[in-house]
Structure 1
Amino acid sequence: MPRFSVIVPVHQVQAYLRECLDSVLGQCFGDFELIAVDDCSPDACGQILDAYAAADPRVTVIHLAQNSGLGPARNTGTARARGDYVLYLDGDDVMVPGALRAVADRLAATGEPDVLLFDHAPWYWDREPVAAHPDVLAPGAHPEVFTLADRPELLRLPAFAWTKAYRRDFLTREGFAFPPGWYEDTPWTFPVLLTARTLATLGRVCVHYRQRRGGSILSSTSRAHFDVFAQYDRLFAFLDDRPALARWRPALHRRMTDHFAVIHSSPGRLPRGDRAAFLRQARAHCRRHRPAPGSARQPLGARTRLRHLLVRRGAHRTFRLLWQADRARTAVAARLRVLRPRARAALLQAHYALQRRRRLDENLAVFSAYWNRGYSCNPAAIEAKVRELAPHVRTAWVCEPRYAHTVPPGVRHLRPGSAAHWTALARARFLVSNVNLHHRYVKRPGQTLLQTHHGTPLKHMGLDLAPYPAAAAGMDFGRLLRHADRWDYSLSANPHSTLVWERAYPSSYTTLEFGYPRTDVFQTATAADVARARARLGIPEGAVAVLYAPTHRDHRPGRRPPLDVARLAAGLGPGFVVLVRAHYFHDGDRPPCLPPGVVDVTHHPSVEELCLASDVLVTDYSSLMFDYAGLDRPLVVHAPDWDAYRDARGAYFDITAPAPGPVTRDDDELLHVLATGAHATEEARRRRAAFRERFCPWDDGHAAERVVRAVFLGETPAAAPRTGRAVPAADPPVVPLAERRPAPAPGAAPAPPSPATPAPLAAKDWWSCPASASSYRCSTSRDTCASASTRCSGSPSPTWRS
């Protein structure tokens, strides 16, 4: 007996049917049967269903000899169902990934209720699906399991049969069946809710409800809409047969009146000559099924009372006149909604122009990253170091409100587009970002703009994208160059990046060859930091954590990675944990259901912490590999579509040649490399060392400090910007590769420092000695330093580190 029986009635949906079936058969919860009922469809639906049944034993197909309609087709499927629970899905809709797993978990958590209600999202061709009723169905102060008497507001939800999971023995016990005709969900849904002894909700979208431009019942002009009257007759006959349910008559009468009003006022449903007849029949039904005098009635708003009055009176002409007036009012309101943002934008630009006339705030620095996604990357590392080394500088961070929690205490949060944001852009002395600022930002004399970038470029960037239309679609190269002209400094992670940035963004900025501040933590973190990071992620002690971080593909949009992570985790076994980190372009997507051994870490605030917690990185063409190489831990380049990626996006070199570890071309090869330890051989270490030497020459743990001292404190020649040349000097000097001690790998004993070249202390243990005239910083405790009151010699000693 399967857990679920998913019943799909099918009629003239051949264009959508495969997507519907795939959405069910691709669920990560596999304990179900799919019963497809071919309602004598005249198109190719029957052949499609037979092909799926031949390929998958979970699919059962029933071919009806004649068309019977949606309700009888569902009844036919229900009669063949064997599952504990029954779900319905129309042939042109789709089940969201992970839906069955979520439903199964919720049923188990709520003690197997008679009915579980879940959310859906209307799916239009020109917009993203959005949950229809998140506030009603989301868990809150309501009991986990209840009856309709506890939550009568559920009667106001749409009467869709496919937004619920029904216990099959409950349906059998009550003898429920769908009637023929249109609006068949009405005499099904309400009796089900009224008689269920236990109800529960799942605050998750499980179905995408396709809104077709034509062909659906709700967009058809037909007298078949008059079927709604017979359906409500059946509903009230059900109430008459069960006197104990009489108290629900007022609520259902209101629901019926609302429904009649919607059908009458919806354009395109009723033939023009039948609208008056429809309202006359609606009047008769309202009178026939009206509640008894004195029945408890829910208070209604003025608009609703007027609408109900017109329906009950059958006042067709008045109803149409008021409806047209309401449409006009709605159109005016829609126009105002368009004009209001434009007016607000104009006012903000006027405010911004005024603020630019004020004096610059010499002690204000504004930071942002990844198009205002949150506190991260190089700007975050620089901001933290500014607070440490230049406490006189006030810092502010620009990010959307949903990322405000990532901003550290003491750092001002600026909402993008707000008056405060434009004020800060106008008056800040320093501006730091890893992407370009708003195109309306106007660079003022005296402002310093630092472009940190956000990765070593493997794929083509900037002007180099011009020959690649798939990647450069919609890019305004003229604006791109105007943005680059605003930069004072361009931060470079390695010599390769310096050459690329200066060619891809030709302008007169100064290149700072200081390394990437976001990688500083890889050199300063301790074994305890690594252990804490793994504990926060729930990685079992002794498990091998594989961080999988694919990049975005311009030729394959979407979040789904080119690796079957579920199969990888199953093949590696319980000694491994796969951490999946999607590209930030897809951080708003809901991940699909993940099996045991796979953890989605897309929304983890710090990719650096994920790197510290992992034992090995698996990536394709992501710039994360260049950062991760500085940790000196195993890497695997998984390149199943390298040729297609290079052709679509362009690449500065063939990553499969100087790769920092093994290169795999398919899932089986990757599984073999990880399972056999081929990623951690001596050859892999040799390749990684060569890669580090080429791409991590300056990532020694002091990059942020070099930036702050050069840009914010003016302690190096880099303080004179726009020279158009790289700055050779660095303070503090770069620690050679051989002398670096990256954070220890999980489970590994920390390597002892060489007696000849002591390992650098953690940055948090350093402080600038006020008595020192040199560029060194003391490692002795601030409280016990004996030289704090006398002038230091300025030369290194056992208590100093450069």
Structure 2
Amino acid sequence: MGYKTISWAKNVPQRMKWIGILRHFTFGYLLRLVFVVLEATCRHRKKNVLLFVLPYEEYDENTRYLYEYAVKHRDTDLEPVLFVYHEALYARLRGRVAGRVVAARSKDGMSAFFASRIAFTSRGAMVNAFYPYVFVAPYKRFINLWHGIPLKRIGFLARNSWESLMRAEAQRYSAMTVCSAPEQFTMALSNNMSLDDIWITNTPRNDLLFHTRSAEVETARRGVILYAPTYRDGQADTVLFPFADTDIDALAELLRAHDFRLVVRRHVLEKHAASQIVSDVISYDDRDDVQGGLAGKLCAADILVTDYSSIYLDYLALDRPIVFLPYDKQAYEVKRGLMYDYDAVTPGIKAHTFAEFLTALRTYMTDPRTDATARRDASRFFHAQQDGNACQRVLTRAIEAYAGVRHAGQPIATAGAQHDTY
């Protein structure tokens, strides 16, 4: 039922569309029927578990931050439970994180599943990501916190991608959380969901970023540049700095001169790739840390370098410089497609050669306030709420939704006006 994600997601053959449809209407329907019966049988048992689902081998994203918040601020009879699929990740987390951690495919996992009425996840577009479980509405509210504001096309809007081919096996969610009204519309279209089920709450991992922006910045340390390229579906591993004039020695010299180091963080599906660059001031950090996580890495970065990764949209919360490397933008738009006009929503220097990249770094190292106005405009557009209280909003909405509390509509914009520029 499951797949090896790294190899499979790189290049999904067209026949998978028909295999998916056949499997969905045979085994998929049978498994769903089984869980409908099981949920109905268990409907009278105490449902006091908030389930935080980790289908892949990573402890990060919004599921992690919402879980840790729920454990720390537990003020109801609902028990937060971390529901871990991968055995190696379960062994790593057990005893190292607060709260209750269970292996999904175990007796404790089965018990926690049927004791839950609300479940959260940040990934898992496909039903088979959660095998052997089926999250059946209305017995369970399954809420997707997602893992970033989408800049590229995703879901049913994606061009030439596996999501479009595998519609029959797409996981359906009760609700999704987003950061703004524009994202509310794009996520509703991408997932074929009602606007009422797309909640404008901001996302849990951004709470740390907004709190960090308002805190005192540590200056007596070595500067950090985080390079986080995006994942390219169906292509070879991402090439770092694929410019004709690339000069790593010149980059290293610039970093040393300004007392900076460059840290490369590759996409989760490319962590297996061999290191392409070796230097005393350039390193790789693909670790899925129990302490810190991605939000912690963003907080530690003074400059972000990316291309089309939505990571920069979270980084806007920190109001720090961003360098963009859109070296294959035309090909990427044809292959995958973008949700927005790229040049309009990327507030930072675009480098098309390695020389331009070095110039951009030098500019931001010297004056990090460069392009600050454009960054703030973009931040207000993509983040309706900037108070760092997303976790509280999400949990409140989830519990109210299960209890049948109806929201008579969400404000199109709060905590900052939307800008026609975008």
Q: TM-score band (shorter)? A: 0.7 to 0.9
Q: How does 1:493-642 map to 2 (within 5 A)?
A: 493-508=179-194, 510-525=197-212, 541-558=220-237, 560-562=239-241, 566-567=248-249, 569-574=251-256, 575-589=259-273, 591-592=275-276, 594-605=278-289, 606-642=293-329
Which residue is equivalent to 1:659? 346
**Aligned partner (choices 165, 174, 178) of residue 475 of structure 1:** 165
Alignment partner, residue 147 of structure 2: 454
CA gap of 1:422–1:560, structure 2 versus 1, over 3 A, is: farther
Provide the residue aligned with 1:411 in structure 2.
99
Q: Deviations over 1:727-762 (max 9, x none)?
A: 3399xxx6559xxxxxxxxxxxxxxxxxxxxxxxxx
Q: Give the Cα separation in 1 of the matches to 2:416 and 2:402.
A: 22
Are the counterparts in 2 of residues 385 and 708 from structure 1 also a CA contact under 8 Å? no
Q: Which amino acid aligns with 1:472?
A: W
2:53 to 356, 365, 368: 368
User: For each residue in 1:522-544, what CA deviation from the matched residue of structure 2 results, as whole angstroms up to 9, or x when unmatched?
Assistant: 1224899975xx9xxxxxx5422
Q: Measure, in 1, the Cα distance between the counterparts of 2:164 and 2:396.
A: 38
Runs of 4+ in structure 1 off by over 4 angstroms are: 349-356, 526-531, 562-568, 678-683, 734-737
1:562-598 per-position Cα deviation (integer Å, ceiling 9, x unaligned): 4569456424231210011101112344545631101
Alignment partner, residue 411 of structure 2: 728
Name the stretch that deviates more: 568-577 or 613-622.
Answer: 568-577
Query: Are the structure 2 counterparts of residues 389 and 412 from structure 1 closer, same or farther at C-alpha, using a change threshold of 3 Å?
Result: closer
Counterpart-to-counterpart distance in 1, 2:297 and 2:389: 20
Alpha-carbon distance, 1:475 to partner? 3.3
Tell me: CA distance 1:644–1:721, structure 2 relative to 1, closer, same or farther (3 Å).
Answer: farther
Change (3 A) 1:448 1:598: same
- SS of 1:362's equivalent? coil
Matches within 5 A, 1:100-179: none
Given that residues 52 and 121 in structure 2 are in contact (C-alpha distance below 8 angstroms), is that contact kept between their aligned partners in structure 1? yes
Which residue does the alignment assign to 2:77?
A: 392
Matched letter for residue 152 of structure 2: K
Whether the aligned pair in 2 keeps the contact of 1:352 and 1:426 (CA below 8 Å) is no
Larger gyration radius, structure 1 or structure 2: 1
Map of 2:16 onto structure 1: none
Is contact 2:53-2:83 (8 Å) kept?
Answer: yes
Q: CA deviation at 1:365?
A: 1.2
Aligned AA (1:413):
V
* Residues 155, 164 of structure 2: 8 Å contact kept: no
Note if contact 1:569-1:598 (Cα within 8 Å) is conserved in structure 2.
no
Q: Distance between the aligned counterparts of 1:358 and 1:686, measured in 2?
A: 55
Task: Give the distance between the partners of 1:361 and 1:588, measured in 2 at CA.
Answer: 43
Are 2:138 and 1:445 aligned? yes
Cα distance change, pair 697–445 in 1 and its aligned pair in 2 (3 A): closer
1:280-295 matches, within 5 Å, as none
Contact 2:213-2:319 within 8 A present in 1 as well:
no
Using the TM superposition, give the Cα deviation of residue 395 of structure 1 relative to its aligned residue in structure 2, in angstroms.
1.7
Partners of 2:344 and 2:62 in 1: CA distance: 28
Separation in structure 2 between the aligned mates of residue 619 and residue 608 of structure 1, nearest angstrom: 16
SS of corresponding position for 1:573: helix
Letter in 2 for 1:520: D
Q: Which residue of 2 aligns with 1:378?
A: 62
Cα distance change, pair 528–735 in 1 and its aligned pair in 2 (3 A): closer
Query: Which residue does 1:435 correspond to in 2?
Result: 123
Judge conservation of contact 1:546–1:615 (CA < 8 Å) in 2.
yes
Q: TM-score, normalised by structure 1?
A: 0.42
Flag the 1:545–1:511 CA change in 2: closer, same or farther, 3 A. Answer: same
Question: Are residues 694 and 581 of structure 1, via their aligned partners in 2, closer, same or farther at CA, if it must alter by over 3 Å?
Answer: same
Q: Percent identity?
A: 21
Contact persistence 1:710–1:719 (CA under 8 A): no
CA distance in 2: counterparts of 1:406 and 1:392, whole angstroms: 24
Higher relative contact order (CA 8 A, sep 6+): 2
Alpha-carbon deviation of 1:398? Answer: 2.6
Would the alpha carbon gap of residues 585 and 682 (structure 1) be closer, same or farther in structure 2, given more than 3 Å must change? same
1:578/1:599 contact within 8 Å kept:
yes
Q: State how far apart, in whole Å, the 2-side matches of 1:497 and 1:729 are.
A: 11
Query: Residue 207 of structure 2 contacts residue 388 of structure 2 at CA under 8 Å; is this kept in 1?
Result: yes
Summarize the Cα distance change of 1:682–1:609 in structure 2 as closer, same or farther, 3 Å threshold. Answer: closer
| SS of residue paired to 1:551 | coil
CA contact (8 A) 1:658 1:687 kept: no
Residue segments in structure 1 that go unaligned for 5+ positions in a row: 1-126, 129-345, 535-540, 738-802
Q: Where do 1:775-790 residues align within 5 Å? A: none
Task: Name the CA distance, whole Å, in 1 between partners of 2:118 and 2:67.
Answer: 11
Q: Which SS does the other structure have where 1:636 is aligned?
A: strand
Name the counterpart of 2:157.
Answer: 464
Aligned mates of 1:544, 1:410 — CA distance in 2: 32
1:422 Cα deviation after fit: 3.7
CA distance in 2, matches of 1:377, 1:636: 23
Would you say 1:695 and 2:378 are equivalent positions?
A: no
TM-score by length of 2: 0.77
User: Does the aligned pair in 2 maintain the 1:396–1:411 contact within 8 Å?
Assistant: yes
3-state SS in 1 of match to 2:47: strand
Deviations 1:465-508 (A, max 9, x none): 2xx22x2378311222xx22xx2221111122101111111234
Contact 2:35 2:134 survives alignment (8 Å): no
